[in-house]
Chains A and B, each alone.
Chain A
Amino acid sequence: MKNTRGIVIGLIAIAFTAVFFLVPFAFIFIIASKDVASANLLEFSWPEQFQLFENLKQALQARDYLLVIAFINSFILTIASVTGLVIFSALAAYIWQRRPSRLNPVISILVLAGLIVPPAVVPTIWVLQKIGLFKTMPGLILIEIAFGIPFCILLFRAFMSTVPRELDEAAIVDGAGPLQVFFRVIFPVLRSVIMTVIILQSVFVYNDFANPLYFLPGTQNATVQLTLFNYKSQFTTQYNLLFANILLVVIPALVMFIFFNRKIVEGMAAGSVKG
């Protein structure tokens, strides 16, 4: 009897989520599969002429393969930023957790500020310009690292406190230098939290729109989020291509989710509670 109740409520919930959450994604897929004329009617109906693959191809080829370039840019940005974030945050969190000092309260405040305070856009551009990194990929990578560090340090620190001190002390007694202790002993133990940081930050950086918009303008530099936005005006008469574009941009997130569902959900819940 209890079970019937569970089944009935479950079925109602499934129906609700289908309407509210699956239909929008189905809509993207359907419009991306239509020909121009019927796509522009924005109807939620099965395409009379299914041409998803031609549309995807056309979206990729548009404006001299701009979307392909954008994917390359996005991947470079994501990989470089996430690598920097993992190494620099882990190094800082290691000292923060292991070596209590008068710096600790200062760091806590800075981390908190980094999580709460919205970045000041134009002064950041001013700094980038002063050091010659405005409108460059390295500049944007450093920005993504700077904005992501507080969150990552917190995640690493929380995990670091579960790693027994005996581990590093044994290595120190064996005569290992600080870098050796960190990279040979500590870093491998952090594997699970490193995975969490990599997955979460990849999603954040890949989906980031505002920072590339401000700090890396220029068509050839565009990341996929920017191309998507720029196509908005270009494709208002070609909804099939616009949605083919959306579909292509969403796919990496979907792939991540299929593989790392658990890790992402747990990481986000844990990370936000610590933040």
Chain B
Amino acid sequence: MASTLGTAQAPPVAPVTRGETGRARGRRGGSYPYWFYLPAAVIFTVFFLIPTIASFYFSFTRWDLFTSTWIGLDNYKTFFEEQALVIGLRNTLIYATMTAGLKVVIGLLLAVLLTSKIIARGYLRSVIFFPVLVSTIGVGLTFTALMNPELGLINKALAVIGITGPDWLVDPQLAIFSIALVDVWAGVGLATVIFIAGIVSIPSDYYEAAQVDGASRFYSFLHITLPLARPAVATVVTLALIGGLRSFDLIWAMTGGGPGFASDTIGSVIYKQYQAGFYGLSTAGSVVLFLLVSAIIVPLTWWLNRHEVD
């Protein structure tokens, strides 16, 4: 308190704040009141923090929203033993790594292309980015039609060049990969614009110096663009992994987790168990997802940021 008083002492100004003791005590504090946090804090606490914390308790119970019975680790056991749910876990990891990897590689290539001296850059950037804004359900339903094995445009186009297209969403082995491809189609635009922002911020002197030294384009890319666009790579990887691990909308719109449960992810398992009335099990799924996301994202962010400092 004493120090606060000290800063507020500049005496002639104090009376202006109407002499109230509370005001005079900390002019700075009074002008930036803590209660401005209140609406955000209340909403965030009630609708995000409390449910998140409560999920840990309820995941150990059999629960019908009104009464809960403690059953220890049973829900988790089910989650890691039942074939249908284990597949969900595996698919989540496949889906997240595949979408993140492809978004980085394709996004980076597109960004390099769109920052080089070619025509129609504005148009190209818009076209690639637009799907980011389109409803995931709309994208999912459209591609479900396009990926239809007999009637779908994709397999018909492949047939023209003599390739027999696969049964994209019908083949249990393939379904999750097909959905991941659609996810990349819809999301690569965001990765591209993040990479473009990263590449544009690299000073052109570096490239000029490299050119003077007779470096090839590929060499410049490898030794200038790639290391200096590292923060952008970190951002894209983190975002894509978070999105991929949580994925639900697109899968639900395209296959509903099918055929059977071949393309289930944790996200769709949570919904299915909720629908079936297994609230405790569904919540255990939420906790597993929470732990999985934290276990991957937290060390990754730490690692990526550490290297940034070096």
Interface residues of A (CB under 8 A from B): 2-3, 5-7, 9-11, 13-14, 17, 20-24, 27-28, 31, 41-44, 84, 87-89, 91-92, 94-96, 98-99, 103, 110, 113-129, 131, 142-143, 145-147, 149-150, 153, 168, 172-173, 175, 178, 181-182, 203, 206-207, 209-210, 213-214, 224-225, 228-229, 232, 239, 242-243, 246, 249-250, 253-254, 256-257, 261, 264-265, 268-270, 272-273, 275
Q: A146-B43, A272-B235 are in contact. Are A261 and B132 (CB under 8 A)?
A: no
B259 in the interface (beta carbon within 8 A): no
Q: Say which residue of A23, A118, A123, A229 sits within 8 Å of B153 (CB atoms).
A: A23
Alpha-carbon separation in the docked complex, A84 to B193 (Å) = 28
B116 to chain A, nearest CB (A): 8
Are B141 and A242 closer than 8 Å at their CB atoms?
Answer: yes
Residue of B nearest to A144 (CB): B47
A44–B129 Cα distance when bound, in Å, is 23
| CB-defined contacts of A118 to chain B, threshold 8 Å | 245-246, 267, 286, 289-290, 293
Interface size on B, residues (CB 8 A): 96
Cβ of B146 within 8 Å of any chain A Cβ, yes or no, is yes
Report the minimum CB–CB distance from B118 to chain A (whole Å).
4
Provide the residues of chain B in CB contact with A142, threshold 8 Å. Answer: 43, 46-47
With A23-B153, A142-B47, A249-B138 known to touch, is A117 a contact of B52 (CB < 8 Å)?
yes
Residue of B nearest to A231 (CB): B141
- Nearest chain B CB to A112 CB, angstrom units: 9
Nearest CB in chain A: distance from B149 CB, A: 11
A17 adjacent to B47 (CB under 8 Å)? no
CA distance A9 to B143 in the complex (A): 28
Contacts of A11 in B (CB 8 A): 119
Q: Let me know if A14 and B43 touch, CB within 8 A.
A: no
User: Could you show 22 A-B contacts with beta carbons less than 8 Å apart?
Assistant: A9-B116, A14-B120, A14-B124, A17-B127, A27-B142, A27-B145, A88-B39, A110-B49, A114-B44, A115-B242, A118-B246, A118-B293, A119-B51, A122-B274, A149-B44, A153-B40, A206-B135, A209-B253, A224-B135, A243-B142, A253-B135, A272-B194
Select which of B32, B121, B130 is within 8 A of A99 by beta carbon: B32
| Nearest-neighbor residue (CB-CB) of B234 within chain A | A273
* CB nearest neighbor in A for B239: A272
Given contacts A121-B286, A257-B133, contact A92 B297 (CB under 8 A): no
> Is the Cβ of B194 less than 8 Å from the Cβ of A44?
no
User: Other CB < 8 Å A-B pairs besides A143-B47, A249-B137, 6 of them?
Assistant: A10-B124, A178-B30, A224-B135, A257-B133, A265-B125, A268-B190
Determine the residue in chain B with the shortest Cβ distance to A93.
B40
Q: Which B residues are CB-close (under 8 A) to A178?
A: 30-33, 36
What is the CA–CA distance of A90 and B287 in the complex, to the nearest angstrom? 31
Contact, CB under 8 Å: A20 / B235: no
Residues 227-244 of B contacting A (Cβ, < 8 Å): 231-232, 235, 239, 242
By a CB distance below 8 angstroms, the chain B residues around A42 are 145, 148, 151-153
Chain B 167-205 interface residues, beta-carbon cutoff 8 Å to A:
185, 190, 193-194, 196-197
Interface pair B128/A21, CB less than 8 Å apart: yes
B234 to chain A, nearest CB (A): 9
Which applies to chain A's interface (DSSP): helix, strand, loop or mixed? helix
Given contacts A21-B131, A172-B27, A228-B137, whether A129 and B65 have CB atoms under 8 Å apart is yes
Knowing A122-B279, A143-B47, A178-B31 touch, does A6 contact B54 (C-beta < 8 A)? no
Chain A residue numbers with a CB within 8 Å of B34 are: 95, 99, 103
**Residue B1 lies at the interface, judged by CB distance under 8 Å to chain A:** no
Task: Among B31, B130, B286, point to the contact of A122 (Cβ < 8 A).
Answer: B286
A91/B37 contact (C-beta < 8 A), A123-B54, A147-B48 known: yes
Query: Knowing A210-B249, A246-B141, A256-B133 touch, does A98 contact B32 (C-beta < 8 A)?
Result: yes
- Taking a contact as CB atoms closer than 8 A, the residue among A116, A123, A250 that contacts B294 in the complex is A116
CB-CB nearest in chain B for A172: B31
